[in-house]
Structure 1
Amino acid sequence: MVRYTVAVCNYNMAETLERSLESILGQLTPEFEVLVVDGGSDDGSVSLLRDLQERHETLRVVELDADPERHLGRDRQIAVERARGDYVLPQLDADDVYDDCIRDFVSIYHAFEAGFDGPLYLNGQGLNIAPASLLERIPYRNLPTSEDRDLWRRLLADDAMLRLEHGSVRESIGYERSVVDEMRYRDFAGKVADAQCGVTLTSCLKWAATAPTSPLERSRPPLAHAMKRGYDCLTFLLAYPVAASRESFPTPTPMRDRAEFDRRLRRVQATAAEHESRLGVTVDRSSLGEAGETAFFGRRGDA
């Protein structure tokens, strides 16, 4: 029997942890295990996880000691290393609740896998899946943030990734960061991580100044749009000296160009119906639940 590991990393998310895990555990069948790697929480999460493990046979908990040198990327890879499944669904978040779509996502993955040349990592919006062997060969690295973007660069260089456009399959129940915190903890930290992974400063500055605008950016007034480009250029210039004192990681040469990464990411992104056509496969929609068919193909019964 093919087995699957649904991997969740937790650090001090006691307020949302039980509700999140119950939303996952409640929709899975025995061939799935849910593996939670706790990164050294001190907010009562560990006690809660132990109680949940007693109640759910398919839940396993890996308790790690807190270590300031070990970051989220390493926790994610520990989940891969400890997984018992042939396939791993990494990066489920302990501050989200999930619709009844996980098994449907797996079914769609296997349909795509049948038409894909080589091992496949499928990236959705809140769900991901790959053979454990692929994530052992191309692992998450010890980055505090943007560990997924670093992984995608190497998967794209290996022609081992597809992206799936689809509707929402989860709802955030965690805290909302302020704009300032979001800029500090996600945007700037992500730029530092890019620098750690060898993405060139020249390509980042060129990308910041010339990258195609998103729908959100096109809705901004011209002055705000110019300020955002200026902000990106300035923060890239500040990020690279910060990264110089941190651990560095090698990245395949083509992926060291920020714009090339974007181009390759867009090339592998499509809806489920578009992937079916490109791969010459058909997803058995009759096997999907209502929530899954709606999320991945639109309304039930749509062509």
Structure 2
Amino acid sequence: MSDFVTRFAPSPTGFLHLGHAASAFHVWDAARRAGGKVLLRIEDIDLGRCKPEYTEVILEDLSWLGFEWDGPVRIQSEHFDEYEKVVEHLTGLGLTYRCFRSRSDIAQEQAAQGLPPGAPFKGAALDPDEESRRLSDAAPFTWRLSLDKCRDYLGPSFHQLAFDLVTPEGHHEIIKARPDPHGDINLTRKDSPTAYHVAATHDDALQGITHVIRGEDLEDAAHIHVLLQALMGWPTPVYTHHALVKGPDGKRLAKRFASRSLASLREDGLSPQQVRRLAGV
């Protein structure tokens, strides 16, 4: 067995579709070629949208497709205390601040400043008295990571952040990390003690993930993950981002677009081999 360790990490916010199947085939194919391991992680930190019944069907779908994974399944919602410690550590380094703004607040502020929609957000801690008042009023907030403070904390090494990218064709490229377009990211959610970036990077380090293989829609996430890994002293995996499966309209398949689920394809009598061909892998 090689030291190649990767993972498949679906979110149980709905049923898996062909796009998820394609990603799973990419993950298990790469591990098989390397003689490595695949770990299964359920990223269910969105407590409002993730459902246990979706997790059950995900396990059924993956087993039906013929996938096996090494070790127990990691359920992220069972480990919120671990992610909270990450935020506490970063706060102890002086790199975070409480943000009470809503998305609409931020959009309005940026529009007033003449910034385009979706511009990177950069903020700062409130005046201590104002912050205390809002906390006493139980105003909801998120913890944000201050990019400016990270830059000061890391010094010259901030500008040397990079990661090894392996293209789908197998070519290695060293990519300079660009956290700036992300602005001050959320480390927590107002309805959850962690956000995706914290939970994903923590678990990759904890589980010894050496290779992250996922869709190209998450390619930008690697740039902020490298920053978190540097701040926490975690290793940086090798990243590969594969093309997405698209529907007849040219748009990528997504659960919110009501794409055909794997469960429904199975009920229609399709075989795993036919699903693989439909996924184009």
TM norm structure 1: 0.31
Name the structure where helix makes up a greater proportion of residues: 1
Higher relative contact order (CA 8 A, sep 6+): 2
TM norm structure 2: 0.33
